[in-house]
Amino acid sequence: MKPNFTLRLRVFNLNCWGIPYLSKHRADRVKRLGDFLNMESFDLALLEEVWSEQDFQYLRQKLLPTYPAAHYFRSGIIGSGLCVFSKHPIQEFTQHVFTLNGYPYMLHAEYNRQKDTYLAHRVAQAWELAQFIHHTSKKADVVLLCGDLNLHPKDLGCRLLKEWTGLHDAYLETRDFKGSEEGCTMVPKNCYVKHQELGPFPLGIRIDYVLYKAVSGLYIFCKTFKTTTGHDPYSGPPFSDHEALMATLCVRHSPPQHNPSPTHGPAESSPLTSVLREAWAEVDQGMAQAHWWATMAGYAVGLGLLLLALLCALAAGGWIREAALLLWTPSVGLVLGAGAFYLFHVQEAKGLCRTRAELQHVLGRAREAQDLGPESQPALLLGQQERERAEEQ
């Protein structure tokens, strides 16, 4: 980029609510979304919950002239539902699958914010995401994180993510916002939103984000930020049960007075340390719970095996043979079910343990940095070794 040049980047984001057979008016919504994206010709369109690969292929064909580059992220059994359309070539893509993804045996929890059983997993995912950004963006020009994070702005996961990565929230940063009240991305005015879904937030919730930062030598700011407001941009029926986000970001060379977001060194600053501590405590509690469930499941496996042995003995002895045979299947079911439950919680505990270890390490280094004072901070591996055994060539 030339020194005085400003690069303008127009970004679109939407959770498309594209569940085959279940989401209402899917085909029509996808069609209208495609028309809109073609007309607006954004630089980047980032879509979530495009669960059907056919929908992606349909959009790909339709958007090809305006967005020649596209990618659908496949993973797991049902896929990630994520896709990206870009006006510019995609240099590289990669994908990270979270270690912990909730409890497969529970239906997706209604928003119970008093007793969120998923809290430890949400925090672990936020940390994993933050670490992914931290480790992969060191030489980036700009980092952009868009999407439905399933986190409210003040939620621990959201604060952890922002503090650790230094990402800025387009809605909070822009001076030119147009859209729903308080930037909400699920609003009661949207005809696809059930009022129960909003739980204790009858006016709406903000869980979809455009977050950004510049890494080095560059400066980024959000010029305009828009959301839809319960219907599509032409006041027609909405594209989804979520609102669409549209941001215009400007990137330019960093003037000396503008320090770009630091790729933080030791975490000695207070808001970061406090959110790290809070996350540590949450993950620690989740780990204790996972251990408890694993122990209970272990007992249940033992019980099931005992029952099976008893039934075999009864059947062999000729007593209540039919009843024994009838009970055989549920007993096998108990052993298998409890076994799966046990394995699930063991790996959950290991996953949370790993997150806790990483948080602890970061906190430990912050403490060391505080104890030793600022002059200790350049004491990195190379520097230290240099002092230790200086073998001059």
So which residues are the catalytic ones?
242
Stretch that binds a copy of itself, among 30-38, 68-76, 166-174, 269-277 (CB under 8 A): 68-76
- Rounded-to-integer distance, Cα 291 and Cα 293, Å: 5
Which of 157, 129, 131, 113 has its CA nearest to residue 283? 157
Number of residues counted as binding a copy of itself (CB under 8 A):
68
Among 108, 135, 154, 194, binds a copy of itself (CB under 8 A): 135
Stretch that binds a copy of itself, among 14-22, 117-125, 153-161, 341-349 (CB under 8 A): 341-349
Burial of residue 177 (number of CB atoms within 10 Å: 0-12, 13-18, 19+): middle
| 3-state secondary structure at position 48 | strand
Among 60, 223, 365, 367, binds a copy of itself (CB under 8 A): 365
Angle at CA of residue 29, ends 158 and 152, nearest 5°? 10
Residue type, position 274, single letter: S
| 3-state secondary structure at position 321 | helix
Q: Does 41 bind a copy of itself (CB under 8 A)?
A: no
- Rounded-to-integer distance, Cα 357 and Cα 351, Å: 10
Q: Does 296 bind a copy of itself (CB under 8 A)?
A: no
Subset of 193-252 contacting a copy of itself (CB under 8 A): 251-252
Among 19, 25, 73, 119, binds a copy of itself (CB under 8 A): 73
Subset of 300-329 contacting a copy of itself (CB under 8 A): 321-322, 325-326, 328-329
- Rounded-to-integer distance, Cα 284 and Cα 294, Å: 15
Q: Does 293 bind a copy of itself (CB under 8 A)?
A: no
**What's the start-to-end Cα distance of the chain, in Å?**
41
* Shortest reach from residue 245's CB to a copy of itself, in Å: 21
Task: Name 3's Cβ contacts closer than 8 Å, sequence gap at least 6.
Answer: 253
Subset of 75-94 contacting a copy of itself (CB under 8 A): 75-77, 79, 88-94
Residue 263, phi then psi, degrees to nearest 5: -85, 75
Residues that bind a copy of itself (CB under 8 A): 1-2, 4-9, 43, 71, 73-77, 79, 88-95, 97, 99, 131, 135-136, 138-139, 141, 251-252, 321-322, 325-326, 328-329, 332-333, 336, 343, 346-347, 350-351, 353-354, 357-358, 361-362, 365, 379-386, 389-393
